[in-house]
Amino acid sequence: MIKNLILLLSFCMLIFHTTHGQNDSLIFKNKDVIGGEIKSMDKGVVIIETDYSDSDFEIEWQKISEVYSKRNYLITLTSGQRHNGYLKSSSPNQIMIYTMDGDSLNVNVNEIVYFKTYENDFLSRLSANIDVNYSFTKANNLSQSGFRTSLGYVAPRWSASAGYNLIRSNQDEVDPIRREDGSFSYRKFLPKDWYVPANYSFLSNTEQKLDLRSIFKLGMGKYIIHTNQSYFGVEGGFSYVNERFSSEDEDRNSMEGYVGSELNLYDIGDLDLLTKAVLFPGITEKGRWRFDYNIDVKYDLPLDLYIKLGFTLNFDNQVVAGASKADYVLQTGIGWEL
């Protein structure tokens, strides 16, 4: 009987070892355990895929005590340090980061603000979303449609993103309204949460008689707050502006300074709030200044769908004749994200 008991215990240990050897593990602060494939943690939520569920589990990071995974992750800490390696808890609330360079680092679980599986394939480093909106009013045949999309890519020491937004409005006996903008941004990450931003953006706007405004920006930035609940960053630098107008006014080319800030709040249930503000004081055009502001509130739905409400404001104190100094847009829509 003792022999059978030993065989049974050996079999159970083998099953336990095999199961945990193949799966990642999360241990909650209440000692519950979940096993599967840990994909990522961002904005205070860790995502894990299991064999026994059709959809991934989303778990609040603050409820996790221990993490065990041999997968390669791109990891960001509150200090701004970025590492490429795997995670293994050394004790409750303490996690060892073993980097691909052979180094190791022991951190508190709350010091990790982001990680994502980092494989050789392109899609694992990519993020994207798209949302659309449409409205129609029978009176005067007023119709408005909108389209927004963005694309992002994250590498160990840099990131890149692109976005595009289009709004069209048509109404009887009123000239059509069209507003189009887009951007491409690059950030080189530096130690202690500093970064170098480079950005190209464009705007076409019938309200301000802009056929095209192109802006190239280069500066320096820093994350002042970078936690699992929010981040807040500031940056400043210089920009070069080229403008073409739908009126008879001559084209403009000018140099500007710029200073801006960005705040993202995501520890508010299924809501996510992102707001940006940028001030452009003129350098070559004395007395001129511009101000851009936008805020987006997103509510997450099942199946990676979401509802978004957005507000955008553009202000210029020296516009061409007949143009409006300020233009603002309020958008609502439903979207999907990768």
With bands split at pLDDT 50, 70 and 90, how would you rate the model's confidence at 118? Answer: confident
The per-residue pLDDT for range 49-97, each reduced to its tens digit, is 888 877 788 898 989 999 999 899 989 998 888 888 999 999 999 999 9
Residue 10's pLDDT is what? Answer: 44
Q: Which of 60-64, 233-237, 323-327 has the highest mean pLDDT?
A: 233-237
Task: Assess whether 223 and 297 both reside in one domain.
Answer: yes
Q: What mean pLDDT comes out for the span 266-280?
A: 86
Residue 181's pLDDT is what? Answer: 92
Closest CA to 221 of 229, 231, 230, 211: 231
Looking at per-residue pLDDT, the higher value among 123 and 213 belongs to 213
Task: Assess whether 112 and 157 both reside in one domain.
Answer: no
Task: Assess whether 241 and 302 both reside in one domain.
Answer: yes
CATH code at 91?
2.30.30
Report the share of the chain in percent with pLDDT over 70: 90
70 touches 115 (CB < 8 A): no
Residue 140's pLDDT is what? Answer: 67
Residue 120's pLDDT is what? Answer: 64
Task: Assess whether 70 and 218 both reside in one domain.
Answer: no
Task: Assess whether 115 and 142 both reside in one domain.
Answer: no
37 touches 119 (CB < 8 A): no
Q: What mean pLDDT comes out for the span 111-133?
A: 82
The range of the structural domain enclosing residue 301 comes to 124-337
Task: Assess whether 143 and 227 both reside in one domain.
Answer: yes
With bands split at pLDDT 50, 70 and 90, how would you rate the model's confidence at 228? Answer: confident
**Pairing relation of β-strands 104-108 and 112-117?**
unpaired
Residue 17 has pLDDT above 60, yes or no: no
Render the burial of 152-186: b for 16+ CB within 10 Å, e for the rest.
bebeeeebebbbbbbbebbeeeeeebebbbbbebb
Other CB atoms within a 10 A radius of the CB of residue 122 amount to 8
Report the share of the chain in percent with pLDDT over 90: 46
Angstrom distance (rounded) from CA 192 to CA 194: 6
Task: Assess whether 113 and 134 both reside in one domain.
Answer: no
* Structural domains counted in the chain: 2
The answer to whether residue 10 sits within a structural domain is: no
Residue 331's pLDDT is what? Answer: 83
Residue 195 has pLDDT above 70, yes or no: yes
Task: Assess whether 112 and 156 both reside in one domain.
Answer: no
Residue 318 has pLDDT above 80, yes or no: yes
The answer to whether residue 14 sits within a structural domain is: no
Residue 1 has pLDDT above 70, yes or no: no
Mean pLDDT rounded to a whole number for the chain? 86
Closest CA to 260 of 230, 284, 290, 228: 290
43 touches 267 (CB < 8 A): yes
- Residue 245 CB burial class (10 angstroms; 0-12, 13-18, ≥19): buried
The answer to whether residue 4 sits within a structural domain is: no
The per-residue pLDDT for range 131-183, each reduced to its tens digit, is 888 776 666 677 888 888 999 998 888 999 999 999 888 877 777 888 899 99
Task: Assess whether 95 and 148 both reside in one domain.
Answer: no
Residue 224 has pLDDT above 70, yes or no: yes
The answer to whether residue 12 sits within a structural domain is: no
Angstrom distance (rounded) from CA 330 to CA 311: 5
- Among the candidates 119, 145, 170, a domain finishes at 119
Looking at per-residue pLDDT, the higher value among 319 and 125 belongs to 319
Residue 9 has pLDDT above 50, yes or no: no
C-alpha distances in angstroms, 262 versus 163, 182, 191, 296? 16, 18, 19, 12
The answer to whether residue 16 sits within a structural domain is: no
Closest CA to 228 of 114, 115, 116, 81: 114
Phi, psi of 261 (to 5 degrees): -145, 160
- Among the candidates 89, 119, 149, a domain finishes at 119
Helix (H, G, I), strand (E, B) or coil at 191: helix
Residue 121's pLDDT is what? Answer: 65
Q: What is the DSSP string of 99-123?
A: ETTS-EEEEEGGGEEEEEE--SSSG
Render the burial of 2-33: b for 16+ CB within 10 Å, e for the rest.
eeeeeeeeeeeeeeeeeeeeebbbbbeeeeee
**Can you read off the two tokens belonging to residue 310?**
């957005």
Task: Assess whether 142 and 287 both reside in one domain.
Answer: yes
The answer to whether residue 18 sits within a structural domain is: no
3-state DSSP helix/strand/coil % of the chain, to nearest 5 = 10, 70, 20
Residue 115 has pLDDT above 80, yes or no: yes
With bands split at pLDDT 50, 70 and 90, how would you rate the model's confidence at 267? Answer: low
Residue 277, CB-side half-sphere exposure with 13 Å CA sphere: 3
CATH code at 205?
2.40.160.40
- Among the candidates 67, 93, 119, a domain finishes at 119
- For the question of whether the overall pTM of this predicted structure is more than 0.85, the answer is no
Residue 150's pLDDT is what? Answer: 93
The per-residue pLDDT for range 22-46, each reduced to its tens digit, is 489 999 999 999 999 999 898 888 9
- Total number of residues shown for the chain: 338
**Can you read off the two tokens belonging to residue 55?**
């959809």
The answer to whether residue 53 sits within a structural domain is: yes
Task: Assess whether 102 and 189 both reside in one domain.
Answer: no
Closest CA to 335 of 296, 317, 303, 308: 308
Give 198's strand partners.
186, 218
The answer to whether residue 17 sits within a structural domain is: no
Task: Assess whether 106 and 146 both reside in one domain.
Answer: no
